[in-house]
Structures are given as structure tokens and as C-alpha cells.
Amino acid sequence: MNTSIALIESLDQEGRGVAHVDGKTIFIDGALPGEQVTYKTRRRKERFEVADVVDVLQASHLRTQPACKHFGVCGGCAIQHLEFSGQVAAKQRMLEGNLWHIGKTRSERMLSPIYGPAWGYRHKARLRVRYVEKKGGVLVGFNEKSSSFVADMDSCKVLSPHVSNLIEPLKVLVGKLSIRDRLPQIEVAVGELSTVLVLRILEPLQPQDTAPIKAFADQYGVEIWTQSKGPDTVRPFYPEQGPGLSYSLPEFNLTYPFKPTEFTQVNPHINRVMLRRAMQLLQPQAGERIADFFCGLGNFTLPIARSGASVFGMEGSAALVARANESADLNGLAGQVEFQEADLFQMTPALLQSLGHFDKWLIDPPRDGAVELVRSLPDVGDTEAETAHVPQRIVYVSCNPATLARDTGILVHEKGYRLLASGVINMFPHTSHVESIALFEKT
């Protein structure tokens, strides 16, 4: 075996150790910052290599024994071998590094990180399903690391415990169905009153499938839904009328109903803390007009409205706009919020101006960020436009530090904002996924 030695400098956005050897960047799976390791390359490019750890010659004091027996094979988690506080610190450094190297700016203040339970936090997931006769039947779980194969697993420590306990029974159930080799995915959604499993079916279920599905749902207290094509085909199968999915925000006296395939935060504990932090930074006041861009089903919109502010939510999904309006009615806030469907990736200065004046913005975009939205703000020096349409405060919630950093560069260097504060949100413990929040104020 041809191996080389490297000293690990940092982690990349996939949780791999980063080293430099003979002028080339080496990304090493299983290595941690500060460690000296031997590694074996499995992919070689002109400017970088991808490798695996062979031996750890000098271990980090933050290296720990992974709690899950499937770690290293299952691709669901990347950094279980890094102690929990070390994970948070690494994500903070990743955020700071992206802000400087991509956005060419630094935050005036680093916020204390938001973190919560390390295990059993995940209330939404898409489990892959594969019927493999050579492996004894059905596999249910996440993909293997760097592979399209389904990991052979019987539990998952980041899923809600009662969902983790369903993995083995689900294998048995799928094995009984007529379409066991035409069922590639089970989507899981856990609400406060029920748990829904959505079977993605490529062929219709047959009459003989009904009895085992009903028995499973009754035994484990879940609702079974089916999806034959796109999101519009998601339907309850059994029971036809269950309690439904919802989550609550007791601090704001809010309840949100949702369908299993609609976007909600996967970590309800962190969502509540994140919302508290966002409201502290935004400081919404009665009488203000505030925009919530990429508003989804109103996760931030309705807490802002509880302050007495008038809130305008904009979102690209018609289904989520309808759900947001439903939640506003349910919570008695219909008179304080307005929702509109629009593709925010097609935002223009003219369209932004047509929306009128906003005192403040909250932005919560997907991984692609909000580049067209922030570019549509007036440039520094456009006095007339600035006076009429520029929000004085922007809170930006991000799920990708690279696009946050890019958009921060535009806000700071072109639009005349200061980056007052930023910090990480450990929404996905044991993964390399970095959520963060940033506060901007007009100079």
C-alpha cells in the first residue's frame, strides 16, 4: 500500500481534513485538524487529491469514539469522530474563513453558537430503500458514504428514537409488499401529534398490500401516505384521516400545520432557539413594515407579526404560500401578514422597488443564497433610491456559509452595510452542514 504523511490544517465543508503536501491540497476522509496521519489517495487531480486515513500517527485531543456503529459506512454523518464542542468550533471557523476568503470581510462581533441535543434530533429524513436479494432482502437507510448504494443499517442515532426503531420493521414490511423492488424511498416526517411515513411508489399498491400496511401503522402508531409522482400526488393511505402533522412555537403562541413533504426545519429544538435569536437581532417593532424573503410556510413571518409589525412574506412555492396563509388564519394573524408567490432568484431592482418601503428584512434562502435579491438593493451613492427603499437592518439566516459570504461581500462592499454580528447554528450535529445567522445594519 502506497501511503504518504500529512499534517491536517482544517476541515472542509464535507468534514474532510485539509492538508497541503508538495504544493497540492489533499482532502482526507477521517482526519481532524492538528493530526498527523498517513493517507492513501483514491482520486487524483492536477490541483488536489481525495484520500482516506490509513493511520493516525498523532491524534487530536478532540478525537472521540463514534457513537453509531454504522459510522464510516453510512454517509449520513461525516464528523462523529470529532467531539461535540469541537464540531461547533470547526463550524465557527468555517464560517469565519468563508466570510474572509469569499466575502473579504469580518464580522464585528461573533455570536455565541446555537446548539442543542446531540442525538435523536432529526424529525425529517428521506430514507433510501433497496431490495437486494444477495443481501437477504430489503435495505432501509441512508446512502453509503460516497456511494449510491444503501447502507445496511438497523438503527440511526440522529433520527428520533421511535423512527430509528422502525428501520428493522420497515424492512420486513417492504419485503411483504408486491412492489418491494419498486419502492425507492420512504420520507419521514415527525410532528407533535403524529409521525408520517410517505412511501414513494413507482407502481400502484395492490389489494394484497393493504393488510400488512394497516397492521404496521396500527402496531407502531404511524400514518402511512403514498407518493406516486410529484409532490401533488402525496396522499394519506392509512388511516385516511389521522391527527396530521404540526409543530408549535410556545414562546410566540404559534402552531403550524404542515404536510409531510413540505419544507420544515428538521431540528425542532434548534428551530425554537434560532427564532428567538433572530427576533433579538431583528428587533421588530409595532408600526414597522418588515419583509420576510424566502418565507416558506411562515416560520419567521408569524413570530415577527406577533411584535405588532406588518409583515410581507415572499416565497417561490405556491403550496407553501397557501400553507403560510392557513397558519396566519389559524393563529389570528391574517390582518398583519401578507404573502406573495414570486421567484426570488429572478428579483430585479424594479420589482424590489415596486414592493414599497421596508424598515427591515429577514432573509432565509436555500443553499443558493440570495444574490439577485441583495444585488437589487441600491448601490452606495444612489441617494434617492436609498432613502425610499433601503432597509436599515437585515437578518440573514443561511444554510451555506459560502453563499452567505458571497452575499455579505455585496452587502458590505457595494450596498453600504456593516456586518455587525454573525454566528453558527448547529442544526445538524455530527454532519458537516453549517447553518448560520448574520446581522447587517445600514451605515
Residue type, 378: P
341 in a known ligand binding site: no
Report phi then psi at 236, rounded to 5: -65, 140
Establish whether 74 is an annotated binding residue. yes
Residues whose CB falls within 8 Å of the CB of residue 111, separated by 6 or more in sequence, listed in order: 277, 421, 422, 423, 437
* CA neighbor of 115 nearest in space, from 97, 96, 92: 92
**In terms of DSSP bridges, do strands 360-363 and 289-293 run parallel, antiparallel, or are they unpaired?**
parallel
Three-state DSSP state, 263: coil
Are 3 and 38 contacting, i.e. CB atoms less than 8 angstroms apart? yes
Active-site residue identified among 399, 410, 412, 438:
399
Q: What Cα–Cα distance (Å) separates residue 39 from each residue in 4, 115, 368, 425?
A: 6, 32, 33, 32
The gap from C-alpha 317 to its chain's centroid, in whole angstroms, comes to: 17
Number of alpha carbons in the 13 Å side-chain half-sphere of residue 385? 14
Q: Is the peptide bond before 401 cis (omega within 30 degrees of 0)?
A: no
**Closest CA relative to residue 288, chosen from 271, 308, 268:** 308
Would you say the C-alpha torsion 399, 400, 405, 407 has a positive or negative sign? Answer: negative
Nearest-angstrom CA–CA distance, 376 and 352: 7
Strand, coil or helix: 264: coil
Crossing angle of the two packed helices 167-176 and 210-220, in degrees rounded to 10:
160
Short-list 378, 437, 366, CA closest to 408: 437
Percent helix / strand / coil, the chain, rounded to 5: 30, 30, 40
Q: Is 295 annotated as a binding residue?
A: no
Rounded Cα–Cα distance for residues 405 and 283 (Å): 23
Q: How far apart are CA 197 and CA 436, in angstroms?
A: 30
Helices 401-413 and 84-101, axial angle in degrees (round to 10) = 40
Question: Which H or E run contains 211?
Answer: helix 210-220
Let me know if 295 is a catalytic residue.
Answer: no
**DSSP codes of every residue in 68-109:** -TTBTTBSS-S-TTB-HHHHHHHHHHHHHHHHHHTT----SS
Q: Is 299 annotated as a binding residue?
A: yes
Annotated binding site for [4Fe-4S] cluster: 68, 74, 77, 156
Catalytic residues, which ones?
A: 399
Annotated binding site for S-adenosyl-L-methionine: 265, 294, 299, 315, 343, 364
